[in-house]
Amino acid sequence: MSRRAVVIGAGLAGMLAAAALSTVVDEVVVLESDELPGGPEHRKGLPQGRHAHLLMAGGLAAMEDLVPGVGMRKHLLAAGAREVSLSSGMIALTPEGWFRRWRHEGPQMLTCSRALLDWAVRDAVLTHTDVTVRQGRVAELTGGAARVEGVRVSTAAGDEELTADFVVDASGRGSRVVTWLAGLGISGIEEKSVDAGLVNATRVYRTPEGADRFPLTIVQANPYLSRPGRSGMVMPIEGDRWMVSLAGTRGGGEPPSDPEGFLQYTLDLPDPIVGRLISGAEPLTDIHVSRSTSNHRRYLEKSRQWPERFVVLGDALATFNPAYGQGMAVAALGAGVLGRELAAGTGVTAPGLARRVQRGAAASVNAAWTMAVSQDVWFPGTRGGAPTAADRLVTKYTRRLIRTATGSYRAASALWDVTSLNSGPERLLRPGAVLATLGGPPLPPAVGAPLTPSEREVLRGLDRTGVR
């Protein structure tokens, strides 16, 4: 009997879920409301694509498994993505001081525009599988509380019902899944929002001559000062460009959208390095500002009732403050859970499959959720959460760990393994990490950005601000 799966949304979660499904069904149809570009171009349905996106190693590893035979890392690098070592290729000012740089490589992350990343993944999946993408906006699910049987979709040709043996909702943060489930008779879905009121502002610059090897530069927000958070990042992307993203929280931390204000904001950060780097750089775009970046979670795995043959992945399941750079990796890990369950089971109609995938996907949300929320609750003006006794305890330990990581490779690599989503948070409680944390940093804090003499020279050459 011929089997069909339908995926709602052709973003990262959707294309990766489609790749997983293509190994076990005869037909996978991805329904996408947006018009998809034929190349690495920005599109309306992905407004966050204007802003900096770091792809963490755990997410890339999941992608490699989901689209075998492609070599996703090589595919992305060939398309123009850059690889950045967290240990040696990045400079970051944390609330506890500058991270040192080490000779060891440590976990790597990929940087490129979101348009390139989505296009490269879509291209790889469409080239190496029989997945097809059709334009159409899904309006609701069909079936009942016991089992989803398809979707109702609006296309240019009119409304249509598409039957399916399995449906994945990967329609992103605006997903209407709670309403759709209510339409099937499933209600009472628990949801939680923790919203620091983050605003992102991004501008792309031409990488100045001689600066193409300058490390990725981050000045992180400090949640522990009872003041709105402010942060800035210079991230290398394809085409010899820098993507410069600023982010700030509600109540005065929001970055402005005018060029002078944008530069001034970078210079007013706890270290002016971002401003010094871009002060003489040539802007290639306007400044794009967006909101709607709260942490939002749907606890679908806790629902008393769950229909067979339906799962929800990616941002439709949970979104995170983007400052922690984890949404795409969590989306890929969720699709990886689906892939593993399908590989282990007896096909998409296996009883209990959907529930197992939903629980597994929730487990991969947990670490990123805890990391983002346990920091966001400290910003003044955060809505939907205040520090609990557990947050205070976790914060005490993680602040000490980060302080240690500024001068201890052992502590730093534990932290990077977790932020890369290579390991779960339990990695921070292993004896090596705990002992290092209790001992404190063996090296004194770095004074100023940890740059090599030649990088210092580059910075001096670029600086038009006169600030030192």
Ligand X SMILES: Cc1cc2nc3c(=O)[nH]c(=O)nc-3n(C[C@H](O)[C@H](O)[C@H](O)COP(=O)(O)OP(=O)(O)OC[C@H]3O[C@@H](n4cnc5c(N)ncnc54)[C@H](O)[C@@H]3O)c2cc1C
Min dist. Cβ of residue 433 to ligand X (A):
24
* C-beta of 151 vs 263, nearer to ligand X: 151
Min dist. Cβ of residue 132 to ligand X (A):
14
- Say which residues have a Cβ less than 8 Å from residue 293's Cβ, sequence separation at least 6: 48, 198, 199, 200, 247, 319, 321, 322
Min dist. Cβ of residue 5 to ligand X (A):
15
Cβ–Cβ < 8 Å for 284, 241: yes
Min dist. Cβ of residue 214 to ligand X (A):
19
Min dist. Cβ of residue 326 to ligand X (A):
5
Q: How many whole angstroms from its chain centre is CA 38?
A: 23
Min dist. Cβ of residue 170 to ligand X (A):
5
In angstroms, what CA-CA distances link 430 with 83, 349, 364? 28, 40, 19
* C-beta of 287 vs 436, nearer to ligand X: 287
Structure tokens at 232: 């800035």
* C-beta of 47 vs 251, nearer to ligand X: 47
Structure tokens at 432: 């090596």
* C-beta of 63 vs 331, nearer to ligand X: 331
Min dist. Cβ of residue 373 to ligand X (A):
15
Taking alpha carbons only, the member of 404, 159, 122, 378 closest to residue 249 is 378
Min dist. Cβ of residue 68 to ligand X (A):
20
Min dist. Cβ of residue 315 to ligand X (A):
4
DSSP letter for 425, please: G
* C-beta of 290 vs 395, nearer to ligand X: 290
Min dist. Cβ of residue 290 to ligand X (A):
6
**Sole residue written with tokens 């914060």:** 395
* C-beta of 52 vs 451, nearer to ligand X: 52
Structure tokens at 296: 């939002």
* C-beta of 14 vs 385, nearer to ligand X: 14
Structure tokens at 311: 């799962």
* C-beta of 336 vs 441, nearer to ligand X: 336
* C-beta of 285 vs 454, nearer to ligand X: 285
Half-sphere exposure of 403 (CA within 13 A, CB side): 11
* C-beta of 150 vs 407, nearer to ligand X: 150
Could you give the CA distance from residue 186 to residue 273 in angstroms, rounded to a whole number? 52
Structure tokens at 104: 């060891």
DSSP letter for 225, please: G
- Number of residues assigned to the chain: 468
Give kind and range of the element (H or E) at residue 260.
helix 259-267
Q: Which residues bind ligand X (CB under 6 A)?
A: 8-14, 31-34, 45-46, 48, 51-54, 137-138, 170-172, 174, 200, 293, 314-316, 322, 325-329, 331
**Sole residue written with tokens 């999946």:** 125
Structure tokens at 285: 């775009």
Beta bridge partners of 199: 248
Beta bridge partners of 230: 248
Min dist. Cβ of residue 200 to ligand X (A):
4
* C-beta of 199 vs 353, nearer to ligand X: 199
Structure tokens at 284: 């290639």
Handedness of CA 194, 199, 203, 207 (dihedral sign): negative
In our burial notation (b when 16+ CB lie closer than 10 A, e otherwise), range 48-84 reads bbbbbbbbbbbbbbbbbbbbeebebbebbbebbbbbb
What percent helix, strand, coil does the chain show, rounded to 5? Answer: 40, 25, 40
Cβ–Cβ < 8 Å for 175, 312: yes
